[in-house]
Amino acid sequence: MKDLELISLALTAEFMGIDSKNHLFRNLPTSLKTKIERSVYNRRKRKLAFEINEIRLKFV
């Protein structure tokens, strides 16, 4: 999964009110589940936190 896809997934989950990664990964379609594991998602999301926040601020 590319960084842009991960950022899109994180922001979409936030927009939908999904704050639990367990809940997110239970509801993901299989096509997305096979692209990234939950632990890898968590690690990369933390690494991209600055970029995610920059995008989030542009929507306000």
- Name the band, by pLDDT with cuts 50, 70 and 90, for residue 59: confident
Q: Tens digit of pLDDT for each residue in 19-57?
A: 888 899 998 999 998 999 999 999 999 999 999 999 999
Q: In degrees rounded to 5, what are phi and psi of residue 15? A: -60, -35
Is the predicted pLDDT of residue 60 greater than 80, yes or no?
Answer: no
Contact between 5 and 50 under an 8 Å Cβ cutoff? The reply is: no
Is pLDDT above 90 for 13? yes
Q: What is the pLDDT of residue 42?
A: 95
The answer to whether the predicted template modeling score (pTM) of the entire model surpasses 0.85 is yes
Residue 53 to residue 11: CA distance in whole angstroms: 9
Residue 5 CA to residue 17 CA, distance in Å, equals 18
